[in-house]
Amino acid sequence: MGGYGSTRWNSHYKRLAVEDCRRLPFRMFKKCLQVGRFGEITWSRNGEVVSTIGYRVKGSDCPSNILLTYIITRADGEKIDCKYPIDLTTTPLPWGGLRHWFVCPIVGCGRRVNVLYLAPGGNYFVCRHCNHLSYRSRQEGYQDRVFYGHLAELMQAEHPWVTWRTMKEVMNY
């Protein structure tokens, strides 16, 4: 028991991180949360538009859902039309007013969330739990932070703004 090579070091499955997904935070809709309002949201990289999604706020007298409309193009050129509602809910704030939330559109989930994610290869914006997402910082070991922290300390004389996070980004770029 426990002979050479009997372990599985570094072979564990790492979850997909939220940083690898498209984010749809509720704050993008905060100013346009009026029934009948519509528009589009764009994501860009280096000044170039990468993705666009259309939306329409629906409801009778107060907003009850947001209808999302977009097209996904797969690597093989297949196009998938996506059009579905995201329900909204509210909670009262202690100082008055209401806070709006998305309700995860996956049947059986119904979590109240502030951000929905579209995972690579996915078709729908859903909550972090339904996408089985984790945060990248939860997948790092303590030794990683110590290593990058030591590199940051070495650079503090020339670049006082450098932290272990910026060192990690530079090293992984």
Summarised one tens digit per residue, pLDDT across range 49-59 is: 888 899 998 88
Q: Which of 10, 20, 3, 5 is nearest to 119 (CA)?
A: 20
> How many CB atoms neighbour CB 106 within 10 A?
14
Length of the chain measured in residues: 173
Q: Are residues 96 and 166 in the same domain?
A: no
Paired strand residues for 89: 101
Please give the Cα distance from 41 to 173 (Å, whole number): 27
Residue 156 falls inside a structural domain: yes
Residue 163 falls inside a structural domain: yes
Q: Are residues 157 and 106 in the same domain?
A: no
Q: Are residues 26 and 89 in the same domain?
A: yes
pTM of the predicted protein model: 0.71
| pLDDT one-digit tens code per residue, 99-158 | 889 999 988 888 999 999 988 888 889 998 988 887 766 666 666 777 777 778 887 778
Residue 92: is its pLDDT beyond 90?
yes
Q: Are residues 94 and 115 in the same domain?
A: yes
| pLDDT one-digit tens code per residue, 54-84 | 999 888 887 888 999 998 888 888 888 999 9
Residue scoring higher pLDDT (97 or 15): 97
34-43 contacts, C-beta under 8 A, 24 or more apart: 34/63, 35/59, 35/60, 35/61, 35/62, 35/63
How high is the pLDDT of residue 139?
A: 65
Please give the Cα distance from 13 to 51 (Å, whole number): 29
Q: Are residues 149 and 70 in the same domain?
A: no
Q: Are residues 157 and 109 in the same domain?
A: no
* Contact between residue 142 and residue 44 where contact means Cβ atoms under 8 Å apart: no
Q: Are residues 93 and 153 in the same domain?
A: no
Residue 56 falls inside a structural domain: yes
Q: Are residues 148 and 81 in the same domain?
A: no
Q: Which domain holds residue 130?
A: 16-134
Q: Are residues 155 and 85 in the same domain?
A: no
> How many CB atoms neighbour CB 117 within 10 A?
22
Q: Are residues 54 and 36 in the same domain?
A: yes
Q: Are residues 84 and 127 in the same domain?
A: yes
Q: Which of 126, 123, 82, 124 is nearest to 103 (CA)?
A: 126
Residue 105 falls inside a structural domain: yes
When divided into structural domains, the chain yields a total of 2
Residue 37: is its pLDDT beyond 80?
yes
Residue 14: is its pLDDT beyond 60?
yes
Residue 2 falls inside a structural domain: no
Q: Which of 59, 41, 58, 61 is nearest to 50 (CA)?
A: 41
Please give the Cα distance from 105 to 123 (Å, whole number): 12
